[in-house]
Structure 1
């Protein structure tokens, strides 16, 4: 096994790859606008680049008039050969190549009063030249006639999810059809769908809600995982000799069981899991005997992701994030592993992801990024041993100097080691203004090394930026994750406060000249932490936050989930006294920090009632604040215009309240 670690001090290996620039259309303007809120809020120009199975064409998404559009290029000339732009409020969502001439994509749609589009279950098919475009699946896709098993675009009030596009027939894919209901808890059906006509053939129902289906090397559904009403993972295996789903005993696997791929020999299953250990690693499950074999576990952090072969049937590498990303190659038997090793050598201080490849393994498309690079796409030619730059994700930022992000760690109030990141502004001053940027979640989510437009906005505006992976964050093992349960308003906040005090002690900030900022759970933490340590923070920017924990069981999308009540019981509990104490709406009397409260009127995760309850409490206590309401946003910001407005407001707000 070979390991590759990223870092600022890594010496670049001598690459055998020749780099050649392509497409002068993607070069940045010589007269750049240094308005950072506008630059950093701007939508990417190119994203989700992939290559067709035969390598003759490329596909990428672009934003056109604020909507995601799919564009096709000739891979040899980079000339546009077709594009898909949906009318009205519809946009292109997740897409897949299904053969050399055709893609199928999820159709997403916004509303007149909401900027963010959502997926309502519909699938759309189109050829690369724009021909044979039609709705294939969904409640508007029905035709009048159909048979008993073979249906001609049957109208379905259901959500479709991709299962497998690697079937032997170029005109068929496997999808999962989940009947629509308010909680999404109905069991789904597996369908084989024709990508030109929308005809479907039923392949049977799955035995559990919120299902994820994996196929074997023959394209047959073999593994299903899902979540029951108790919030527990259920795992089902279908043997080669039987069409029946058999449930695996829950004691066989750990709390983080998540299937990756059925091995090419159809005898075993690669999974993420933490069975018998704290950290989540990669395991191999024998589908006949149930024997577990450990493949790789990092002693310090969970495995972040794996790299799968082009047919999605095997695993050749993985990544862990202990500070900087580290890559490990588990085998060199696959061609993908050899290519990936060369790409890592060519970009030693960046994150590398192979997004797609041709069926013959001769051409590969890679996405490269870092803390100072939002992303660049390259085409690797295996025969020529060469890389061609296709496009920058954000060409308007090319050539701009970005602030570097470095990993940090510190002891918390009880001695527990906490990790995070520190980004220093180039404009250091004696006043040491600092912003503590708190991530959302809180559970299973964490900050990672990489490009972050919000971090760059703050650093380019003259502020040091601290990010804390408090207890309850993902990536540091099951014990660390569970240590945050029912500690939203106490230990988690004390971790954030300890990180702030550590950064001040290190000379990166000054007490009373610090602002705390965050969205979702981060917005909650802004107010809660500032009431626990009133003299530490001068101001706070709270976005889309939860401010009254008692409301969480009554309002929003979490209680509507089939396992929502079980989740809330696990993470916040039912004790009225603790819920009240951990609700910042009840603690504003202790608040000294000035607040900027930003919220979307159509937020379903953190309904507007939370923000208005906080506003009412602040008014009653006579506490100062600013109010920023977005009438056309949900949980966060989708609109480029709104993102720029928010970034501009944050820049102005911090300049008003922090001393530089």
Structure 2
């Protein structure tokens, strides 16, 4: 099997690195080498985004036949511009989304733009502008998004774009339209044709994948804040008239559309039934006939698997103990099964992109002990070609298997979790970490996790609980969410630590807790609710005061939704760790970025001040210019190295 020059270079790097003593913090903290990848419509070129220094990234293009080495065609320095990803608008033209976290009058916001360029980086142009000649009367932070890559004309795309009104003193050429509309954009000439006029309440448009807008979602608002309710309308085939389809609120009880199949003339979407989310289809022929596509008795459906430039829906995604797909396309189902049989050591197989005819597929495959590999699969030739490694520096590093387990909570409820034992094979009386996930409307899954694997490499057992308050297990498990039902959620997290001790896995004197975002909140609140259980606490980008979490979102359109989610009542006082810092007895180490718009750095600073005032042992590391995800290899390396030293300290 021929490997392209890219993977050959990466493999050589891996061998050289493994021959020397591994710098584990640098190896595990490094950003993924392939952050995003896309296959050209003819299947002949691969474009991918790879990290450089800090938050910077570069775009490379590679002929998949290996006839030329990868060529860098664009870059962003990460200060603040960063590259989210690039996709092909034609065989020779790429569109790249660039974004950055910026401060507007003291409020952090994400600003995006879309740039078009030739496959060699030439003729770069920005597609996002919808400006007239006047002065803007608002902020133009949304640079648009492509909603259809294949509208029937090569080199043109359908884009959702934001129109911001302008003042018109002395001119009639100022922009007067306002809201989100849909335009047909020529990515070479920038010629624009309006497809859907801008609408102030429009938040979503969904096409049939062939250039026809079939669905619109309008966001309900009150006093300039969104309510969390969206009203969807659809068009019958060949019609321009909108008809009511569904309404979706925070309870997800209504049909929430995700995509359209023009051949079957149906919309696919999700809907909550009997306390769990299931996949349904609705006929778009005027009858609104609804059919169940897939439901799982134990867990929620999470979304849909897609393929090709038309973003054709081919399956339904969900996760029990392992991420799974229920395929509704028999041909794709057989294909994935055959690939899984061909690569039994890589059971997680995903189609990342495909050529126009779906003959050439860009495949990602991985497992708990393999960070992932990219392949090109030719369906006609039945040839599978490895292209690149997701994390080449870990290619020769022994990783630790992740095992799904359950443990009993104090009330007898069995809590699903993932246990990873030290990579050196130790199983008893070891250093151990309870690692609660973020969210709280999220869950952990089976697969490679760079945090977990780093600590396993360092001799720790790691337990990741899907505590009550986690998403994916239905309404009863979610309860009121991990903030309003913090006593249950944190109780489950504490019980995870007790289980590690009871099973003899954890040395009680060397049991710690570490979390990121909500997980950081859980780590601190666990130390408040049960001082002494965890001997050391690490909190990354943590929420520390629930009232502050609400108030700092006041300048965002979803403020009322955040207020409703966090709630009001005694839990605000009782469930805010910064208000009970004096109860924490264990040493605390925190990390936070100054450009975090998810959770303000104020939370960590407040916690640090309160801990110091209480005489506690604590340290806060602040990363200037970094956001919630600390997406910087050097920062992550520093964080891993420092946390390992902290958690191993006597």
TM-score (norm 1): 0.86
Q: Which aligned pairs between 1:72-91 and structure 2 lie closer than 5 A?
A: 72-77=61-66, 79-80=68-69, 82-86=71-75, 89=79, 90-91=81-82
Alignment of 1:131 onto 2:119: no
Q: 1:453 to 1:81 in 2, by over 3 A?
A: closer
Alignment match, 1:104: 95
Give the one of 633, 636, 640 matched to 1:640. 633
State the distance in 1 between where 2:639 and 2:514 align: 13
2: distance between equivalents of 1:623 and 1:180?
50
**CA drift at 1:111:** 7.2
**Hey, what does 1:192 align to over in structure 2?**
184
Secondary structure, in 3 states, of the residue corresponding to 1:373? coil
For the Cα contact (< 8 Å) 1:601–1:629, is it kept in 2?
A: yes
Provide, for residues 398-430 of structure 1, a one-character-per-residue CA deviation record: whole Å limited to 9, x for no partner: 121101111112332333332121100034275
Partners of 2:343 and 2:391 lie apart in 1 by 18
Partner of 1:341: 337
Deviations 1:559-587 (A, max 9, x none): 33323223322x22122x33111111121
- Could you tell me how far apart the structure 1 residues matched to 2:52 and 2:574 are? 47
What CA distance in whole angstroms lies between the structure 1 residues aligned with 2:629 and 2:122? 36
2:56 paired with 1:61: no
Give the one of 130, 146, 149 matched to 1:165.
Answer: 149
Aligned to 2:396: 399
Could you tell me how far apart the structure 1 residues matched to 2:117 and 2:148 are?
A: 18
Q: 2:486 is paired with a residue of what secondary structure?
A: coil
Identify which of structures 1 and 2 has the higher relative contact order when contacts are C-alpha pairs closer than 8 Å and 6+ apart. Answer: 1
Q: Tell me the equivalent position of 1:574.
A: 568
Shift of 1:534: 1.0
Question: Relative to structure 1, is the Cα distance of residues 507 and 609 closer, same or farther in structure 2, using a 3 angstrom cutoff?
Answer: same
Mean CA deviation greater in 205-214 or 357-366 = 205-214
* 8 Å contact kept, 1:58–1:73: yes
Mapped to 2, the partners of 1:20 and 1:232 lie a distance apart of 52
Change (3 A) 1:485 1:536: closer
**CA distance 1:482–1:213, shift in 2 (3 Å):** farther
Unpaired runs of 5+ in structure 1?
A: 1-18, 146-154
Aligned pair partner of 2:555 in 536, 554, 560: 560
**Other structure's SS at 1:290 match:** coil
**220-229 or 309-318: bigger deviation:** 309-318
For 1:210 and 1:654, how far apart are their aligned partners in 2? 49
In 2, the alpha carbon distance for the partners of 1:406 and 1:586 equals 37
Question: Does residue 203 in structure 1 map to residue 189 in structure 2?
Answer: no
1:227 deviates by 4.1
SS in 1 for 2:649: helix
In 2, Cα distance between equivalents of 1:65 and 1:616 = 32
Aligned 1:24-43 pairs, distance under 5 A:
24-27=8-11, 28-30=14-16, 31-43=19-31
Q: 1:617 to 1:248 in 2, by over 3 A?
A: same
Partners of 1:429 and 1:351 in 2: how far apart? Answer: 27
Partner secondary structure for residue 443 of structure 2: coil
Separation in structure 2 between the aligned mates of residue 491 and residue 40 of structure 1, nearest angstrom: 33
Secondary structure class of the residue paired with 1:58: strand
Q: Once the 2 structures are TM-superposed, how far is the Cα of residue 217 of structure 1 from its aligned partner?
A: 5.0
Is 1:360 paired with 2:357? yes
Aligned to 1:14: none
Helix, strand or coil: the match of 2:274? coil
Match of 2:314 among 313, 316, 325: 316
- Which secondary structure does the structure 1 equivalent of 2:183 belong to? strand
1:512–1:535 Cα contact (<8 Å) kept = no
2:162 corresponds in structure 1 to 178
Deviations 1:264-309 (A, max 9, x none): 32621111222x3222222111122122100111111122343224
- 1-side partners of 2:210 and 2:30: how far apart? 43
Where does residue 599 of structure 2 map in the other structure? Answer: 606
1:528 is the counterpart of 2:525:
yes
Instruction: Give the direction of change, closer, same or farther, for the CA distance of 1:199–1:528 in structure 2 (3 Å limit).
Output: same
Per the alignment, do residues 511 and 297 of structure 1 end up closer, same or farther by CA in structure 2, a change over 3 Å counting?
same
Alignment correspondent of 1:148: none
SS in 2 for 1:596: strand
Q: In 2, are the aligned partners of 1:264 and 1:314 still within 8 Å (CA)? A: no
- Does the 8 Å CA contact 1:284/1:294 hold for their aligned counterparts? yes
Of residues 378-387 and 337-346 in structure 1, the stretch that sits farther from structure 2 once superposed is: 337-346
Partners of 2:525 and 2:95 in 1: CA distance:
45
Matches of 1:111 and 1:330 in 2, distance apart? 42
1:329 alignment counterpart: 327
Alpha-carbon distance in 2 for matches of 1:157, 1:623: 42
Shift of 1:215: 0.6
> Tell me, what secondary structure is at the counterpart of 1:649?
helix
SS in 2 for 1:247: strand
Relative to 1, partners in 2 of residues 1:398 and 1:257: Cα closer, same or farther, differing over 3 Å?
A: farther
Deviation (angstroms), 1:460: 0.6
Residue 552 of structure 1 aligns to a residue whose secondary structure is helix
Distance across 1 between alignment mates of 2:142 and 2:327: 40
Over the residues paired in the alignment, what is the CA RMSD in angstroms? 2.8
| Structure 2 counterpart SS, 1:85 | strand
**5+ residue gaps in structure 2?**
166-177, 221-225
User: Is the Cα contact below 8 Å between 1:585 and 1:617 reproduced in 2?
Assistant: yes
Q: Which residue of 2 aligns with 1:306?
A: 304
Aligned length: 612
- Cα–Cα, structure 1 residues 318 and 344, in superposed 2: closer, same or farther, change >3 Å? farther
Contact 1:227 1:563 in 2 (8 A): no
1:30-83 CA distance string (max 9 Å, x none): 324411101111233334232211122111112234422111111112523643
Q: In 1, distance between residues paired with 2:200 and 2:560?
A: 18
Q: Following the alignment from structure 1 to structure 2, what is the Cα–Cα distance between the partners of residues 324 and 409?
A: 14
Compared CA separation, residues 179 and 479, structure 1 to 2 (3 A): farther
Which of 293, 296, 321 is matched with 1:295 structurally? 293
